[in-house]
C-alpha cells in the first residue's frame, strides 16, 4: 500500500515536472532557467519556474527587526589569508594586511564604463540596510543586518549594455557563480560592506560580499574580487549544487 502510493506520488511529480517543462517550452524559453537541459541541474527547472511563477516581479524577502538578530556562524571559507588552507590567496593576504585600503572591485564585460570601485567609492552611493534570514543548504538559518550598495546602483553606474543578461561573480577564495538580471536588480540584492552595524568581518566575507535574499545562502558570495556582466550564460559551477535555489 505504502509503496504503491509512493510510486504514484513520484509518477505524479515526474508527470507534473514534464508538464511544466512541456507547457513552457514552446516559445517561452525566457521563463526557463539557463541551465535547462543539464541533467545534473534538473532541480533548477522546478525551483526557478515555481519561484518565478509564484513570486512575479520583485517581491521582497521578509525583513526582521533588530531584536530578531541571532548568532551567525561563518561557513565555507572563513579566511582566504590563511596560508594553511587550499583557498589561500596571496593577493587577498596583501590587501588584508593593508586594511583593504587597496582593494578594488573590478566591474567589466557588457558595460559601457568598466572600472574598479574601492570600498570608499562603494560607500559614497546611497546605502541600503536590511535585516534578513540567511538559509544555508546545510540546514541552519541565521538572522543578521546587512548594509551595502544595491547591485542595481552599481550596474546603472557602469551602464550595462542592452545585450547584458547575467552577472558573474569571482571571489578571492576561488568561488565563481552567476545570477540573472532579475535577481541582480532585485532591491534587496546588495554588495554588503557592513554587518550588524560594523564593517563586514573577515569570516563573513570582508571587505565586500554579495547578499542575495531571494535565494539560498551559497549564492551570497563572500570575498568579492571581480564582477563580469555577460550576454550569455556560462555554467561556471560544476559543483553539483543547483544554480537557482529560490527561497
Residues that bind ligand MTE (CB under 6 A): 72-77, 136, 171, 173, 175, 203-205, 217-218, 220-223
Q: Which is nearer to Mo ion, 11 or 239 (CB)?
A: 239
Beta strands in 172-222 (DSSP E): 176-180, 190-195, 198-199, 209-211
Burial of 14: CB neighbours in 10 Å, binned 0-12, 13-18, 19+? exposed
Q: Which is nearer to ligand MTE, 135 or 157 (CB)?
A: 135
Confirm or reject binding of residue 136 to Mo ion (CB under 5 A).
Answer: yes
* Runs of H (alpha helix) within the chain: 2-24, 42-54, 90-97, 119-124, 151-158, 181-184
Confirm or reject binding of residue 164 to Mo ion (CB under 5 A).
Answer: no
Q: Which is nearer to ligand MTE, 36 or 169 (CB)?
A: 169
Task: State the DSSP code for 215.
Answer: B
Confirm or reject binding of residue 205 to Mo ion (CB under 5 A).
Answer: no
CB of 44 vs Mo ion, minimal distance in Å? 17
Q: Which does 220 bind (CB under 5 to 8 A by kind): ligand MTE, Mo ion, none?
A: ligand MTE
Confirm or reject binding of residue 207 to Mo ion (CB under 5 A).
Answer: no
CB of 224 vs ligand MTE, minimal distance in Å? 8
Q: Compute and round to an integer the Cα radius of gyration of the chain.
A: 19
d(CA 150, CA 111): 17
Residue 147, helix vs strand vs coil: strand
CB of 112 vs ligand MTE, minimal distance in Å? 28
CB of 100 vs ligand MTE, minimal distance in Å? 15
Q: Which is nearer to Mo ion, 136 or 142 (CB)?
A: 136
| All cell numbers assigned to 70 | 541571532
CB of 204 vs ligand MTE, minimal distance in Å? 4
Residue 26's CB is within 10 A of a number of other CB atoms, namely 7
C-alpha separations of 112 from 126, 158, 163, 213, 227 in Å: 22, 6, 11, 27, 14
CB of 75 vs ligand MTE, minimal distance in Å? 5
Whether the CB-CB separation of 226 and 105 falls below 8 Å is answered with: yes
Q: Which is nearer to ligand MTE, 117 or 218 (CB)?
A: 218
Q: Which does 77 bind (CB under 5 to 8 A by kind): Mo ion, ligand MTE, none?
A: ligand MTE
d(CA 129, CA 131): 7
Residue 104's CB is within 10 A of a number of other CB atoms, namely 16
Confirm or reject binding of residue 78 to Mo ion (CB under 5 A).
Answer: no
Among 100, 166, 172, 218, binds Mo ion (CB under 5 A): 218
Confirm or reject binding of residue 80 to Mo ion (CB under 5 A).
Answer: no
CB of 217 vs Mo ion, minimal distance in Å? 4
Kindly list the residues in this chain that would bind Mo ion in the complex (CB under 5 A): 136-137, 217-218
Amino acid at each position: 500500500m505504502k509503496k504503491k502510493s509512493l510510486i504514484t506520488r513520484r509518477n505524479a511529480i515526474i508527470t507534473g515536472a514534464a508538464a511544466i517543462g512541456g507547457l513552457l517550452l514552446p516559445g517561452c524559453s525566457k521563463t526557463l532557467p539557463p541551465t535547462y537541459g543539464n541533467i545534473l541541474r534538473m532541480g533548477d527547472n522546478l525551483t526557478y519556474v515555481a519561484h518565478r511563477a509564484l513570486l512575479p516581479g520583485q517581491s521582497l524577502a521578509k525583513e526582521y527587526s533588530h531584536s530578531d538578530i541571532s548568532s551567525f556562524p561563518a561557513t565555507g571559507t572563513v579566511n582566504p589569508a590563511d596560508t594553511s588552507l587550499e583557498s589561500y590567496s596571496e593577493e587577498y593576504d596583501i590587501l588584508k594586511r593593508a586594511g583593504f585600503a587597496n582593494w578594488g572591485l573590478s566591474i567589466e564585460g557588457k558595460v559601457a564604463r568598466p572600472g574598479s570601485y574601492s570600498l570608499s567609492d562603494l560607500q559614497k552611493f546611497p546605502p541600503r540596510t536590511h535585516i534578513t534570514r540567511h538559509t544555508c543548504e546545510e540546514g541552519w538559518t541565521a538572522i543578521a543586518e546587512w548594509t551595502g550598495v544595491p547591485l542595481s546602483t552599481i550596474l546603472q553606474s557602469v551602464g550595462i549594455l542592452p545585450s547584458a543578461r547575467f552577472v558573474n561573480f569571482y571571489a578571492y577564495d576561488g568561488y565563481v557563480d552567476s545570477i540573472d538580471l532579475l535577481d541582480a536588480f532585485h532591491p534587496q540584492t546588495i554588495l554588503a560592506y557592513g554587518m550588524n552595524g560594523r564593517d563586514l568581518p573577515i569570516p563573513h566575507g570582508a571587505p565586500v560580499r554579495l547578499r542575495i535574499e531571494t535565494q539560498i545562502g551559497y549564492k551570497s558570495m563572500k570575498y568579492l574580487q571581480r564582477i563580469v556582466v555577460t550576454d550569455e550564460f556560462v555554467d561556471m559551477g560544476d559543483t553539483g549544487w543547483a544554480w537557482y535555489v529560490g527561497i
